[in-house]
Amino acid sequence: MKGLIFDIKEFALHDGGGIRDTVFFKGCPLRCVWCHNPEGLSRERELYIRKARCTNCGLCRTPCNHPDCAPFGRCLHICPQNLISVAGQEWECDALAEHLLRHKAIFDETGGGVTLSGGEPLLQADFCEALLLRLSGKVHVAIETSGYASEEHFWKVISKCDLVMMDLKLASPTAHKEFTGVNNDPILQNAKRLQKSGKEHLFRIPRIPSITDTEENLRALAEIAGESPVELLSYNTMAAAKYPNVGREFSRRIGKTGFEGDPTKFFQNAVCRK
Amino acid sequence: MNQELYQYYIVDRAHRALRKPLGRDLGAEFASAGLCPEERMCRRFEIACAAETPAIMPFEKIVMRRSISALPDVFTEEEWETIKKDPYIHELGYVSNLSPNYEKIICKGLLAVYEESSKYQKRVIDALLGLCDRYRAEAEKQGREDLAEIFGRVPRQGARNFREALQFFRILHFFLWLEGNYHNTVGRFDQYMYPYFKQDMDAGIYTRETALELLEDFFVSFNKDSDLYVGVQQGDNGQSMVLGGLTPDGTDGFNLLSELCLEASCELKVIDPKINLRVSKNTPLWVYEKGTELTKAGLGFPQYSNDDVVIKGLERLGYDHEDAVNYVVAACWEFIIPGCGNDIPNISGVNFPLLVDRAIRAYLPTGGDFEGLIEETRKNIHAECERKIPLFKNVWFVPSHLMDLLRDGKKYNNFGFHGCGIASAADALAAVKTYVYDEKSVSAERLISALDANFENDPELLHLLRYEAPKMGCGKAVADDLGFWILDTFADALDGKTNDMGGIFRAGTGTAMNYLLHARKVGATADGRRAGEAYGTNFSPSLFAPVPGPLTDIESFTAHDLTRTMNGGPLTLEFDGSVFQNPDTIRKVAMLVKHFIDRGGHQLQLNTVDLDALKEAQKDPEGYRQLVVRIWGWSAYFVELDKEYQDHVMARQMYSV
């Protein structure tokens, strides 16, 4: 079985305990206006061109015979600055598991492991499940998910993970639809299932100024989170620079100011992280 | 922190403007008087001591700073030309890169060694005491009873307490520089100072905080005159301090003083002393966490070295166990022995990409197989070592009386060769193996024609070799294995070779400035490096290797045994400052370092780089005077570097969150 992966990051610092590798699954059903990984949105392989440094030398437009260049209408093997790559690489499940297990020694030494992220890993639930079957019991596996998936997909993946880090973004269904493109009902249902399951988990709330980071939303999310541990993540716009690289435009809807004061006070068990 | 002291010496550097030149052409004076070198060094020292004016600021506890600027040479330029014709002159000709035995003199005092000293040394001691007495008089004049009392005791007699020991060190170090020696290292400071420190801590004379404050005062003293100690660039001054490590009795030497040294450096954020931390498999994680706190400060240290590997490697080279256990680093990362070591660990360097390039160009057109290319490369490495070895005969240093007083004979007289561009050389061989031999997708003619044209005729081949080919540091066994094969071949080529001082030749993994200088001597290379482009620093991936991350980087550079190439030269990992956000991420970096050591890595340097700040600093140097970067084995103020060194820092691989 094959999965589409757009990055594997070694020494990922904020994706669980210990030293970890994070695997980024390509494709996401959500379209959060603040998305940090625009190259993870599409379910298709796509060109990723670091345009900021491009000198328009035109070499990549030279006709070539490389089979892998054909779908993109550009030569991928000629840029003198190596600015052109393809976001999305197909991995065989066995090969990916083997690749990730290379670092098992340091994962074990440090209480670390592998984190599945994206994109939305649950969009490739079958592949996730197959990968987890190969990793479970060998390394600690965490998942970062929006929680937007059917109960079946959610459960068959989550049940094989050691730690679930799930986003809570907006409590209001209309706001959720407006800023992420999808209904939050499946997410809230899955959040409840997660809480009931006894599985080690953590809710993460991206603090997007004027969108999620409002007193009203934070209070409402606190209700949903209940006793579960919560991490409030502060936001920066560094990802905006990546949007043109995949031919997307960064949203102008993000405001400047968010909730002022300590947002953890609304929650039973929350910490802030930069 | 003592803000007043910091402001005066580190920020304003007001004292530097007060210095005056000696105003004498001593080389010419000595030449016309026909003086011998011994007399010249002694006389210059006497003249310099007499010309120095004591200066004591009310806010400093550790005193002595230079009031005369650069020292005039003891020889004229014409004389140097004659001198250089016969003996081999290393670098500037003055004694450098040694780790003196401060411990002995600090304990006994200078009077204890006076009688056994040579006539020149006696004069040197007299001159030194003369200036110290004037410091004492100045202290009395200013009503500084504390300093007057200290100078009443040291350096004539041994130190009785921590503060006297620190001042004694400062005196010795100050005068070693004034004698004209350079790269005067600090050695195992936390070991030889510990008895004084412990005694005073046990007696309740200091708390942790007051001891730290005194230590910071002492650390500032390394920065007072460091602008006068220029090496290749400002900051390259050899003031390396070594902390922790095995002691001769087999215990771990990391102590409270080591810890306070890390903290002092962390608080002051000054480039001297340059901190080195000796660690081993038994070093607990919290020590690495302390070290990582210092890494976060952005000074490019501590540099770590692995006792498990280094001691074994030094013993393998013939160092006695009790000496190997005491190893320290020279100015950068070369392993040397304090006291009895007389090694010249940086006498030369081998330019591996050049040797590989010659092999490729000479051998590929013959149509032979890859084994033949390897054999050709091996021959080139051996031939280059054999060509170089005889160049270093009859090495002569300008005599140095004070330094000799701080030495315990010259037990080790080994010469070290740096190994430069290892990754670039390995990558070139790996590329040829992959594309010319295994895949047969690139012909020898095409490769050589592209190399000759600096790839301008073949951008596709440039892309292939530069960005797609297997590279050292990327977890590709073909490249890593060739890199270690180069190291082994290098060690073989020097194995059993001796110099005329009875010493051996040591193979190393450092580049020093050769990542620029050697790189200029070879055109485009088969790893896709264009003509003129630099190599990576020391034992690190090439600047454009697509390293997947620090775990793979570490795995590659610890893939095989390193104990045969023990001249020194670290793997360097560059991190964006954002990596050090909180105690959790600091702990993870510490785990990474521990992993490197546990895997048998020999030496590691971690840098914290703020690329945006570096860019801004190039535009606005005045606004970034305190911005520090690590160069190849020392740290410097970014804005004081030549642009090519600045640019290299900015071009290195960097890991971020």
Each domain of chain A, given as residue ranges in start order, spans: 2-44+89-273, 46-87
Q: Which amino acid is at B8?
A: Y
Mean pLDDT of B72-99: 94
User: Contact, A217 vs A209, CB < 8 A?
Assistant: no
Omega before A119 within 30 of 0, i.e. cis: yes
Q: How many angstroms separate the CA atoms of A221 and A184, rounded?
A: 12
Q: Can you say whether the dihedral through the CA atoms of A169, A171, A176, A182 is positive or negative?
A: positive
Is the pLDDT at B115 greater than 90? The verdict is: yes
Residues in A closer than 8 angstroms to B579, CB to CB, are: 13
Q: Can you say whether the dihedral through the CA atoms of B512, B513, B516, B517 is positive or negative?
A: negative
What's the domain range around B46? 19-183
Is the pLDDT at B609 greater than 90? The verdict is: no
- pLDDT tier at B71 (50, 70, 90 boundaries)? very high
**Residue B460 contacts A, CB cutoff 8 Å:** yes
How many pairs of residues across A and B have Cβ atoms under 8 Å apart? Answer: 66
Residue A116: predicted pLDDT? 98
User: Where among B133, B166, B183 does a domain terminate?
Assistant: B183
Q: Do B599 and B550 belong to one domain?
A: no
pLDDT digits (tens, 9 = 90+) for B198-219: 999 999 999 999 999 999 999 9
- Tell me phi and psi for residue B211, to 5 degrees: -65, -40
Q: Are strands A2-12 and A89-92 parallel, antiparallel or unpaired?
A: antiparallel
A14, A103, A106: residue with CB nearest B657: A14
Q: Do B169 and B198 belong to one domain?
A: no
Q: Are strands B603-609 and B415-420 parallel, antiparallel or unpaired?
A: unpaired
Structure tokens at B505: 């030749």
CB pair distance less than 8 Å for B551 and A80: no
- What is the nearest CA distance from A82 to chain B, expressed in angstroms? 7
Is the pLDDT at B651 greater than 90? The verdict is: no
Residues in B closer than 8 angstroms to A109, CB to CB, are: 591, 594-595, 598
Is the pLDDT at B1 greater than 90? The verdict is: no
User: Where among B513, B548, B565 does a domain terminate?
Assistant: B565
- What is the nearest CA distance from A132 to chain B, expressed in angstroms? 22
Within 10 Å of residue B117's Cβ, how many Cβ atoms?
A: 16
Within 10 Å of residue B530's Cβ, how many Cβ atoms?
A: 15
Block means of pLDDT (10 residues each) for chain A, 274 residues, are 96 94 98 96 96 93 94 95 96 98 95 97 98 96 98 97 98 98 98 96 96 97 97 89 94 90 96 87
- What is the nearest CA distance from B617 to chain A, expressed in angstroms? 21
User: Contact, A191 vs A154, CB < 8 A?
Assistant: no
Residues in A closer than 8 angstroms to B584, CB to CB, are: 13
**Residue B550 contacts A, CB cutoff 8 Å:** yes
Q: How many angstroms separate the CA atoms of B555 and B560, rounded?
A: 9
Q: Do B36 and B160 belong to one domain?
A: yes
- Is residue B308 a part of any domain in this protein? yes
Within 10 Å of residue B6's Cβ, how many Cβ atoms?
A: 20
CB pair distance less than 8 Å for B552 and A10: yes
Instruction: From B190, B276, B184, B189, select the one nearest B239 (Cα to Cα).
Output: B184
Residue B622: predicted pLDDT? 86
Residue B233: predicted pLDDT? 85
Q: Helix, strand or coil for residue B321?
A: helix
**Residue B585 contacts A, CB cutoff 8 Å:** yes
Q: Do B230 and B252 belong to one domain?
A: yes
CB pair distance less than 8 Å for A13 and B657: yes
**Residue B656 contacts A, CB cutoff 8 Å:** no
- Is residue B127 a part of any domain in this protein? yes
Which among B285, B460, B464, B471 is the top mutation candidate for probing chain A, defined by the most A β-carbons within 10 Å of its own β-carbon? B460
- Is residue B341 a part of any domain in this protein? no
Question: Which of A128-137, B88-97, B618-627 has the lowest average pLDDT?
Answer: B618-627
**Residue B552 contacts A, CB cutoff 8 Å:** yes
Give the CA count within 13 Å in the CB-facing half-sphere of A237. 12
CB pair distance less than 8 Å for A8 and B548: yes
Q: What is the number of helices (H) and of strands (E) in chain B?
A: 29, 12
- pLDDT tier at B89 (50, 70, 90 boundaries)? very high
Is the pLDDT at B605 greater than 90? The verdict is: yes
Q: Do B431 and B528 belong to one domain?
A: yes
CB pair distance less than 8 Å for A10 and B579: no
Instruction: From B230, B229, B259, select the one nearest B244 (Cα to Cα).
Output: B259
In sequence order, the 6+-apart residues with CB closer than 8 A to the CB of A232 are A205, A207, A263, A264, A270, A271, A272, A273
Mean pLDDT of B641-649: 89
CB pair distance less than 8 Å for A13 and B466: no
Residue B23: predicted pLDDT? 94
pLDDT digits (tens, 9 = 90+) for B256-294: 999 999 999 999 999 999 999 999 999 999 999 999 999
CB pair distance less than 8 Å for A80 and B459: yes
User: Where among B183, B203, B229 does a domain terminate?
Assistant: B183
Q: Do B307 and B216 belong to one domain?
A: yes
Residues in B closer than 8 angstroms to A64, CB to CB, are: 460
User: Contact, A42 vs A188, CB < 8 A?
Assistant: no
Q: Do B82 and B194 belong to one domain?
A: no
In sequence order, the 6+-apart residues with CB closer than 8 A to the CB of A139 are A100, A101, A104, A107, A108, A113, A114
User: Contact, A237 vs A254, CB < 8 A?
Assistant: yes
Residues in A closer than 8 angstroms to B467, CB to CB, are: 82
- Is residue B1 a part of any domain in this protein? no
- What is the nearest CA distance from A245 to chain B, expressed in angstroms? 19
User: Contact, B629 vs B549, CB < 8 A?
Assistant: no
Is the pLDDT at B452 greater than 90? The verdict is: yes
Q: Helix, strand or coil for residue B277?
A: strand
**Residue B551 contacts A, CB cutoff 8 Å:** yes
CB pair distance less than 8 Å for A80 and B591: no
Which ipTM value was assigned to this complex?
A: 0.94
Q: Do B191 and B93 belong to one domain?
A: no
CB pair distance less than 8 Å for A10 and B551: yes
Residues in A closer than 8 angstroms to B527, CB to CB, are: none
- Is residue B470 a part of any domain in this protein? yes
Given the structure tokens 């001591």, which residue do they identify? B49
- Tell me phi and psi for residue A49, to 5 degrees: -120, 120
Strands of B556-656 (E only): list them.
571-576, 603-609, 628-630, 635-637
A10, A75, A102: residue with CB nearest B550: A10
Residue of A nearest to B548 (CA): A10
Residue of A nearest to B595 (CA): A106
Which among B296, B588, B656 is the top mutation candidate for probing chain A, defined by the most A β-carbons within 10 Å of its own β-carbon? B588
Residue B86: predicted pLDDT? 83
CB pair distance less than 8 Å for B551 and A106: yes
- Is residue B342 a part of any domain in this protein? no
- Interface of chain A toward chain B, CB-CB under 8 angstroms: 8-11, 13-14, 18-19, 21, 59, 64, 75, 77-80, 82, 102-103, 105-106, 109-110, 273-274
Q: How many angstroms separate the CA atoms of A223 and A205, rounded?
A: 13
Is the pLDDT at B476 greater than 80? The verdict is: yes
Within 10 Å of residue B59's Cβ, how many Cβ atoms?
A: 14
H or E element in which residue B99 lies:
none
**Residue B544 contacts A, CB cutoff 8 Å:** yes
CB pair distance less than 8 Å for B464 and A102: no
Q: Do B544 and B632 belong to one domain?
A: no
Q: How many angstroms separate the CA atoms of B229 and B223, rounded?
A: 10
Whole-Å CA distances, A153 to A73, A121, A139 = 36, 10, 22
Which among A7, A13, A50, A202 is the top mutation candidate for probing chain B, defined by the most B β-carbons within 10 Å of its own β-carbon? A13
CB pair distance less than 8 Å for A19 and B466: no
Residues in B closer than 8 angstroms to A102, CB to CB, are: 475, 555
Structure tokens at B551: 């775990």
Q: Do B372 and B460 belong to one domain?
A: yes
Q: Taking all residues of chain B, what is their mean pLDDT, rounded to a whole number? A: 96
CB pair distance less than 8 Å for A19 and B459: no
Structure tokens at B440: 């047969």
Residue of A nearest to B469 (CA): A77
Q: Name the more confident of B470 and B624.
A: B470
Which among B288, B461, B463, B592 is the top mutation candidate for probing chain A, defined by the most A β-carbons within 10 Å of its own β-carbon? B463
Whole-Å CA distances, B458 to B202, B363, B451, B455 = 71, 21, 9, 5
B464, B550, B555: residue with CB nearest A11: B550
C-alpha angle B208/B604/B481, rounded to 5°? 160
**Residue B588 contacts A, CB cutoff 8 Å:** yes
- Is residue B163 a part of any domain in this protein? yes
Q: Do B267 and B313 belong to one domain?
A: yes
CB pair distance less than 8 Å for A82 and B466: yes
Is the pLDDT at B347 greater than 90? The verdict is: yes
CB pair distance less than 8 Å for B544 and A82: yes
Number of domains in chain B: 3
- What is the nearest CA distance from A12 to chain B, expressed in angstroms? 7
Structure tokens at A247: 């031919």
pLDDT digits (tens, 9 = 90+) for B160-176: 999 999 999 999 999 99
Instruction: From B618, B606, B619, select the one nearest B642 (Cα to Cα).
Output: B618
Residues in A closer than 8 angstroms to B466, CB to CB, are: 82
- pLDDT tier at B611 (50, 70, 90 boundaries)? confident
**Residue B459 contacts A, CB cutoff 8 Å:** yes
Residues in B closer than 8 angstroms to A59, CB to CB, are: 459
Omega before B399 within 30 of 0, i.e. cis: no
CATH 3.20.20.70 fits A2-44+89-273, yes or no: yes
DSSP state of A31: -
B544, B551, B579: residue with CB nearest A13: B579
Residue A64: predicted pLDDT? 94
Structure tokens at B243: 């902390």
Is the pLDDT at B234 greater than 90? The verdict is: no
Residue B654: predicted pLDDT? 79
DSSP state of B534: P
- Is residue B61 a part of any domain in this protein? yes
Burial class from Cβ neighbours inside 10 Å (0-12, 13-18, 19+) for residue A84 reads buried
Q: Do B98 and B125 belong to one domain?
A: yes
- What is the nearest CA distance from A274 to chain B, expressed in angstroms? 8
Residue B623: predicted pLDDT? 86
Within 10 Å of residue B370's Cβ, how many Cβ atoms?
A: 14
Is the pLDDT at B232 greater than 90? The verdict is: no
